[in-house]
Amino acid sequence: MSTDSPMDYDHAAYAKGKPILVRAHRVKKTYIRGAETTYALTGIDLEIFRGEYVCVMGPSGSGKSTFFNMIGGLDSPSEGRVFIDEVDMAQLNAHELAFLRCRKIGYIFQAYNLNTVMTALENVMLPMTFAGVHGDEARARGMALLARVGLADRWSHRPKQMSGGQQQRTAIARALANRPSLLLCDEPTANLDFASGGEVHRILRDLNRDEGVTIICATHDHKMLKVSNRLVEIENGRIGRIRLSQDITIHGGSLGSDDEGGDAHE
């Protein structure tokens, strides 16, 4: 595994003219629990460009969720910096950070994380309430978002009355409530069957392709590579390597990188 130069492509050419949306600079995260110290991230340098679709893969425990927490402003690095739109997140006060998390970033988690006593529509409207969008406007926008993810007829259902796929699509609608420019998806299809996972893939692909939403998605799902621009592999808290998705071939579930002609890309 190339550790000195983890990029298997001409990064300067790829990056040319692309505005940077997220920049992680030497990000480290160490968890200390009593006598136990975990070096979850040991130095991550990464640029994500506006409009990109980036897959993040790595074994369980390699630091994917920790990295997402850092770039999503849900937790702060022990060392290093994260910039969103070239703004250093560490320089933001609590109010500014809350604004960023509410307006610029949408979060999608493996376990959906819906409010169980609220209906689908109420869940989708909740972030709008935080953003000061109320009443008819929030309701109309919420219904439009539910329609967008194919759930117009499920607006009054509570999470328990929906399938896993429907819950995750509700969570996507909620993540889009305040029109974020970045969607952070942490293993969004890990709990879903093939068909429901496919629907989630299509929704994310369309959001990226048609609306230019930047997507960073942790996944074990090789199908996701077909619609992404780059694959970032994380191992033991650091970046193993970064490849263009079009350069990747998939051999019966495992990844290759030879020159067989990127048939992984649509």
Interacting residues with ligand ADP (CB under 6 A): 31, 33, 38, 40, 58, 60-66
Place of tokens 């909620």: 174
Composition of the chain by helix, strand, coil, percent to 5: 35, 30, 35
Give the rounded distance of the alpha carbon of 57 from its chain centre. Answer: 12
Distance CA 165, CA 154 (A): 12
User: How many Cα atoms are found within 13 Å in the side-chain-facing hemisphere of 27?
Assistant: 31
Q: What is the CA radius of gyration of the chain?
A: 19
Strand partners, 183: 106, 215
Which of the choices Mg ion, ligand ADP, none does residue 27 contact, using the CB cut-off of 5 to 8 A by kind? none
- Toward Mg ion, which CB reaches closer, 76 or 110? 110
Find out whether 225 and 55 touch, Cβ atoms under 8 Å: yes
Question: By CB under 5 A, is residue 66 in contact with Mg ion?
Answer: no
Give min distance, CB of 183 to ligand ADP, in A. 17
Which of the choices ligand ADP, Mg ion, none does residue 31 contact, using the CB cut-off of 5 to 8 A by kind? ligand ADP
- Toward Mg ion, which CB reaches closer, 64 or 141? 64
Question: By CB under 5 A, is residue 65 in contact with Mg ion?
Answer: yes
Give min distance, CB of 185 to Mg ion, in A. 11
Give min distance, CB of 124 to ligand ADP, in A. 26
- The packing angle between helices 164-175 and 194-211, to 10°, is 20
- The packing angle between helices 164-175 and 135-148, to 10°, is 130
- Toward ligand ADP, which CB reaches closer, 72 or 127? 72
Give min distance, CB of 62 to ligand ADP, in A. 4
Give the rounded distance of the alpha carbon of 204 from its chain centre. Answer: 10
Closest CA to 22 of 82, 101, 104: 82
- Toward ligand ADP, which CB reaches closer, 58 or 106? 58
Which of the choices ligand ADP, Mg ion, none does residue 63 contact, using the CB cut-off of 5 to 8 A by kind? ligand ADP
Which of the choices Mg ion, ligand ADP, none does residue 40 contact, using the CB cut-off of 5 to 8 A by kind? ligand ADP
Which of the choices Mg ion, ligand ADP, none does residue 61 contact, using the CB cut-off of 5 to 8 A by kind? ligand ADP
Q: Is 21 helix (H, G, I), strand (E, B) or coil?
A: strand
Which of the choices Mg ion, ligand ADP, none does residue 244 contact, using the CB cut-off of 5 to 8 A by kind? none
Return residues touching Mg ion (CB under 5 A). Answer: 64-65
